[in-house]
A and B are shown apart, each in its own frame.
Chain A
Amino acid sequence: MLTTDKVTKIYNQNLPNQVVAVKDASIKVDEGEVVVLQGPSGSGKTTLLSMIGCQTKPNRGEVIINENRVSKLPDRFLNTFKRENIGFIFQNYQLIPDINVIDNIMLPMLPSGIPYKERIVRAEALMRQFDLMKRRTFDVKNLSGGEQQRVAIARAMINQGKIILADEPTAHLDTKLTGEFLEMISDLKKHQYTVVISSHDNEIINHAVVTKIYTMKDGQVVS
Chain B
Amino acid sequence: MILNTWVLGLLVGQVTIFIVISFSGFNALRIYLNWNYASSDERQYLLENKTYLVAALMKFAMFVHLFLFALTALALDEIAPMIIGAMCPVGVLASNAYGFPFLYIKMGLVFIFSIWLVLNHLDNKMDNYPLVRLKYLYLILFYPLVIIETILFLLFLFNLDPMVITSCCGTVFSEANSGVTGTMSSISNIIILPTLFGLAVLLLFCRFIIIKKLTNSVVGGIIEAVIWIFFFIFSILSVLSFISIYIYEMPTHRCPFCFLQQEYGFIGFPLYFFLFLATAAGFNRGILELIKWEEKLAITIANFQSKLHKVAIIAMLGFLLTGFLPFVFYYFRTGRLI
Contact = CB atoms under 8 A, between A and B. Distances in A.
A11 to B, nearest CB: 14
A60 B127 contact: no
Given A5-B40, A58-B45, 8 more contacts: A60-B41, A61-B40, A62-B40, A71-B40, A72-B40, A72-B48, A74-B48, A74-B127
Nearest to A77: B127
A14 to B, nearest CB: 11
Q: Which 4 pairs from chain A and chain B are nearest by CB?
A: A62-B40, A60-B42, A77-B127, A60-B41
A162 to B, nearest CB: 21
A77 B66 CA distance: 30
B37 interface: yes
18 contacts: A5-B40, A8-B42, A57-B45, A58-B40, A59-B42, A59-B45, A60-B40, A60-B41, A60-B42, A60-B45, A61-B40, A71-B40, A72-B40, A72-B48, A72-B128, A74-B127, A75-B52, A76-B124
B129 interface: yes
Contact of A73 (B41, B42, B52, B127): B127
Centre residue among B41, B48, B52 by max chain A CB count within 10 A? B48
Nearest to B37: A72
Contacts of A77: 127
A58 to B, nearest CB: 7
Contacts of B37: 72
Interface string A25-36: 000000000000
Nearest to A58: B45
Interface string B108-124: 00000000000000001
Interface string B173-211: 000000000000000000000000000000000000000
- The residue among A60, A61, A62, A77 with the most chain B CB atoms within 10 A of its own CB is A60
A27 B124 CA distance: 31
Nearest to B40: A62
Interface in B38-56: 40-42, 45, 48, 52
Nearest to A10: B42
A5 B39 CA distance: 12
Contacts of A8: 42
Interface string A59-97: 111100000010111111100000000000000000000
Interface string B236-258: 00000000000000000000000
Interface in A4-28: 5, 8
Nearest to B42: A60
Categorize the interface residue count of chain B: 10 to 19
Contacts of A69: 40
Interface residues of A, number: 16
Contact of A74 (B41, B42, B45, B129): B129
B277 to A, nearest CB: 26
Interface of B: 37, 40-42, 45, 48, 52, 124, 127-129
A151 B128 CA distance: 37
Contacts of A73: 127
Contacts of B41: 60
Contacts of A57: 45
B50 to A, nearest CB: 13
A167 B45 CA distance: 26
B49 to A, nearest CB: 8
A1 to B, nearest CB: 19
Interface string A133-153: 000000000000000000000
Nearest to B49: A57
A58 B42 CA distance: 9
Contacts of B129: 74
B156 to A, nearest CB: 41
Contacts of A75: 52
A75 B55 CA distance: 14
A74 B131 CA distance: 14
A71 B127 CA distance: 11
Which one of B41, B52, B127, B128 has the highest number of Cβ atoms from chain A below 10 Å of its Cβ? B127
Contacts of B128: 72
Nearest to A57: B45
Contacts of A71: 40
A110 to B, nearest CB: 23
B322 to A, nearest CB: 37
B186 to A, nearest CB: 53
Contacts of A74: 48, 124, 127, 129
Nearest to A63: B40
Question: Which among A72, A75, A76 has the greatest number of chain B C-beta atoms within 10 A?
Answer: A72
Nearest to A80: B127
A71 B40 CA distance: 9
A5 B128 CA distance: 19
Contacts of B45: 57-60
Nearest to A76: B124
